[in-house]
Structure 1
Amino acid sequence: MGDLHRELVLTACRWLAKTEKCTRVFAEVQSTKLNEFPDAIGYRYNYNHHETVVVEAKVSVVDFKRDRSKFWKTEALDRSQMSGVCGMGTRRYYIVPEGLIELKEVPEDHGLLYVLPTGKVKRVRTAPYRECRDVSSEISILCTMLQRQELGLRWWPDKFRFETRKEHEKRMGVPHSRRRKRR
């Protein structure tokens, strides 16, 4: 299941870069300052405004249904009164193997992408523009990426991510005994 999820995430990243024309695309960003951890996120400048496109990869129906229980996806929220509880992205998509979920199961504020057996992406529904979004977390991701670059971590364009500190230390030949220990 992990390999299929990873392949869907990388497919989503390539789709964001090529089809959606996102100039910055990141996969599975982890940061302590985020309310959510998107599988793939792309940033683009579109018709005099900035957009962020989030893609969530789902490999099973159970995983898809679990995703709907996130606090900003519940119908009971009055989104007009609550900043930062809408989730990231001016547009949000699910990417799944073809036929895993039906369009009628997808919330109206999300788009749906099928990955065909050939590896091509088929857009089943375009995600509508969302006014309510977690801009603070979107900016936090960009800041995290800048910090990683400043630390000298290597960017892996084929994986749409920076190497981890552990990978960096191994590449630089830092002896295991001198590596930073987590607190």
Structure 2
Amino acid sequence: MAFELTGQAGATHDELTALAVKWLKRPFSARGPGCNIAMAELRSGYVGEIPDAIGFRLEHPGSVSVVVEVKVSRADFLADRKKPHRIAGGMGSYRYFMCPEGLIQVDELPPCWGLLWVNGRGHVKPKAGPAAYADGRYDTYTEQLDAFRHEPDLVREQWLLIKLLANIGDPEEANRKRKALYRERDHIAAQGNIWLKERDEAREENRKLKRELRLLGPVIPRVARQGSEETLSI
């Protein structure tokens, strides 16, 4: 990260939230959840849950969501379980708490929640949840994915994504630009294939001419006399 954390006293909520968004987009190969998109502190309705960070990842079929709740104090963590959306269910196919190292212990977690510790250098250390098994055996990791999975509040997640798209701009305009770029890409690829074909044909013609010349054998020039003048003929 661009900032360094100085331990439990120096880790601010904003710092950890920014780190959570970055972690959500971390690929599987780096022990991350591999989300395609991730955002911080977006509303999921006119009232109700506002996750500190949430990411979405495409899967086949469907998609999953990952919520990270940031806690920098014990009081905040203990109060979290009393929130209405925690009791009712809430957002996130997978859910994690992120906190300064040692602030929350694994045995204090609600059922099926993961835990991410952040040390003084800003490094994320998964302590519970599927991420804690990401560098182990694949079958163990997939078992943990099943064990920690929640039924997310899809209505609120949809509301959040629609509101985000509306605030960013016109999705159809972006879609048209994307299609135009794809058409241009395909045109360039087709032109490139034509050039490659012409190159291969020229190389084949060159090889053919070389074979014909080898069949003719060496050409020895000879001198012929015509009258009093000497001419060189082949």
TM-score of the alignment, normalized to the shorter chain, above 0.5: yes
Give the CA deviation at 1:31. Answer: 5.4
Which has the higher Rg, Structure 1 or Structure 2?
2
**Is 120-129 or 35-44 further displaced after alignment?**
120-129
How many aligned residue pairs are there?
Answer: 141
Q: Which one of the candidate residues 116, 132, 142 is aligned to 2:161?
A: 142
> Equivalent residues in 2 for 1:1-183 (5 A)?
4-18=12-26, 19-30=32-43, 32-33=45-46, 35-74=48-87, 85-126=88-129, 128-130=148-150, 132-150=151-169
SS of the counterpart of 1:147? Answer: helix
User: Which 4+ residue blocks in structure 1 deviate beyond 6 angstroms?
Assistant: none
Change (3 A) 1:54 1:90: same
**Larger RCO (CA under 8 A, 6+ residues apart):** 1
Identity %: 38
Give the CA deviation at 1:48. Answer: 2.4
Give the CA deviation at 1:3. Answer: 7.1
Q: Which amino acid aligns with 1:58?
A: K
Cα root mean square deviation, aligned: 2.2
Distance, in Å, in 1 between the alignment partners of 2:59 and 2:118 is 25
Query: Is the helix fraction higher in 1 or 2?
Result: 2
Give the TM-score taking structure 1 as reference length.
0.71
Change (3 A) 1:93 1:87: same
Give the CA deviation at 1:73. Answer: 3.2
Give the TM-score taking structure 2 as reference length.
0.56
Gaps in structure 1 of 5+ consecutive residues: 75-84, 152-183
Distance, in Å, in 2 between the alignment partners of 1:91 and 1:31 is 17
Q: Which amino acid aligns with 1:97?
A: P
